[in-house]
Amino acid sequence: MLDCVEKLRDFPAADCAALLALVFHDAVYTAGRDDNEAKSAALAREILAPYIAPEELADIERMILATQHHEPSDDPRMAAVLDVDMSILGAPWPRYLAYADAVRREYAIPRQRFDAGRAAFLSKLLQSPAIFRTPPGRAKWEAQARDNIARELRSLRTSA
């Protein structure tokens, strides 16, 4: 989480709502569940409601919920949050590999099934014109992310 907060400094559109969205976006996490973001948003609402205006709290919840599907947004704050959330993809290879291994360990499913799902997810990312939505995100992480993803895909295909 602190890593995400630190990375947000490089995004001019980021504000307090974006910061709080990143702080809470993975507050509730159970591998394989599809309600983690909704539970994280609910927790943020519960904790922050006494301190934050309702409009800003709604923005925070919206940004947290957006981390589930990473749909495009015209909101530059949302784009910053989504880019930072995906920034691990553009980490140096040893760190990326540790992340990928941790993801694999989180899922208690057969290796072949995991590898197929992971390969489909990674292939979809590579087919997109840009993984990151903001100029800072693309400049910092796009090339390395594409290299990492392609390398992991090669590894998944050779282990199949």
Q: What angle separates helix 16-24 from helix 54-66, to the nearest 10 degrees?
A: 50
CB contact at 8 A, 100 and 152: yes
Q: What is the pLDDT of residue 1?
A: 65
Given a cut of 50, the residues of the chain with pLDDT beneath it are none
Q: What is the pLDDT of residue 78?
A: 94
CB contact at 8 A, 11 and 134: yes
Q: What is the pLDDT of residue 159?
A: 73
Q: What is the pLDDT of residue 33?
A: 85
Q: pTM score, two decimals?
A: 0.91
**How far from 53 is each of 6, 20, 40, CA to CA, in Å?**
25, 13, 18
